[in-house]
A = this chain, B = another copy of it.
Amino acid sequence: MSGNDEGLCQQPCDHPDVVDTVRKAMPEEGQQQDLAQLFKVLGDHTRVRILNALYRSELCVCDLTSILGMNQSAISHQLRVLRDAKIVRSRKQGKNVLYSLDDCHIAELIRIGFEHVQEGKG
């Protein structure tokens, strides 16, 4: 059932069977993969800035281009990543495409993340 060649501690720390309990309590691999992917998409400076802007208002691409002071192509590429990850949504309005946060979880993740970061500075 287990496939780890690397052995356990030969003199266990003081966890005789805790290891086995933890192993059985671990979430499914697929879910952990998805969670890591979510955080990975959030873990980029440009994308964090985009999300902080969209947190305040629905915005089109050129708005974001202006706010972030970056290339339009770079913004579009990152918006694609955010959209594929279902973190933002988009709707067309004439020639423009308006982007907004897709999920309320995202705003909460950003909020808690900021708390952690700010406390770490103290």
Contacts and interface: CB of A to CB of B under 8 A. Distances in A.
Q: What is the size category of the interface that chain A forms with chain B?
A: 35 or more
Interface in A67-105: 67-72, 86, 93-96, 98, 103, 105
A39 B48 contact: yes
Could you tell me the dominant secondary structure of chain A's interface residues?
helix
Given A18-B57, A105-B112, A32 B49 contact: yes
A4 to B, nearest CB: 4
A31 B108 contact: no
- What are the nearest 8 A-B pairs in CB distance? A40-B43, A4-B69, A39-B43, A39-B42, A105-B116, A43-B43, A9-B62, A34-B117
